[in-house]
Amino acid sequence: MSCLFWNCQGLGRPLSIHEIGDLLRRYDPMLVFLSETKATQQCIDRLKRKWNYYGLAVDRVGKAGGSAMLWKKEIVVDLLSFYLNHIDVKVENPLMDRKWRCTGFYGILEQSRRHISWDLITELHGQSDLPWIIGGDFNDILTLDNCQLSDIGFEGYPYTWSNRREDPHTIRSRLDRVCANEEWNNIFPLASVQHLHCSGSDHLPILLLLKRPTAPPRRRRNRPFWFESMWTGWDNHSESDPMEVLMSKTRECRAALVRWSKSTNWQLLG
């Protein structure tokens, strides 16, 4: 099972829709959070049918903002809360006997208003005691220790955002991430995050791979091999070297075959 988080920076371009569709086909995520969709509810509804996903959306404000949480039919998703910068859901996989919580998050860009984003995360933290992950574009380099959340880390290219300017004006940063509380980490101790490559946005998509420990395969016990002394013949060769015994038996066998061959040929000729 996997989850995809991406600041796609608009679904109004055919290229963006094509790239998201390609990501969905390639990685088949069960849960998808898209921020900065710049799309209406009607647009998201059309894309859900196109991609064969269920989901809900937060409308854009003017020509900016907007978000969507999409999921496959194989999981059960219940909406907990949503607003301009987040969608919070409860997730249940029928194949697992556990429920957990996923929040798609988009941090406020303006430096002077970012405290609103951190206040929101603190508020969300107090609303449920379910195992919890929160992922998306935080628009900042931050620590969430006060909410008992820790960064899962990542694999791949070290940055998720670039201003796409040439050196020496290039700026890169890791603004997109997934954080989890201890309870969620206990369910998925092998979970990992991959930074994917995509050209349709200043941000890279991030893929959360959910892995649970499995029981190690049972090792086959090797049955002991017992060598019976009678296999070397009826003579007692306990004092002889095993290799000499083998060579002796080989010579005796060869001689016996020669005698049998001559006897058989003589009888045939007679």
In 70-229, which residue ranges form alpha helices assigned H by DSSP? 114-125, 182-187
Question: What contacts 10, CB < 8 A, 6 or more positions away?
Answer: 16, 36, 37, 38, 39
Cβ atoms within 10 A of the Cβ of 251, count? 10
3-state DSSP call for residue 138?
Answer: coil
Q: What is the pLDDT of residue 222?
A: 57
Question: Cα separation of 248 and 259, whole Å?
Answer: 17
Q: What is the pLDDT of residue 266?
A: 46
Q: What is the pLDDT of residue 93?
A: 86
Q: What is the pLDDT of residue 246?
A: 62
pLDDT profile of the chain (270 residues), mean per 10: 93 85 94 94 92 93 91 95 94 86 91 84 91 91 75 92 87 93 94 90 93 60 54 49 64 71 54
Question: Cα separation of 26 and 194, whole Å?
Answer: 14
Output the pTM of the full model.
0.76
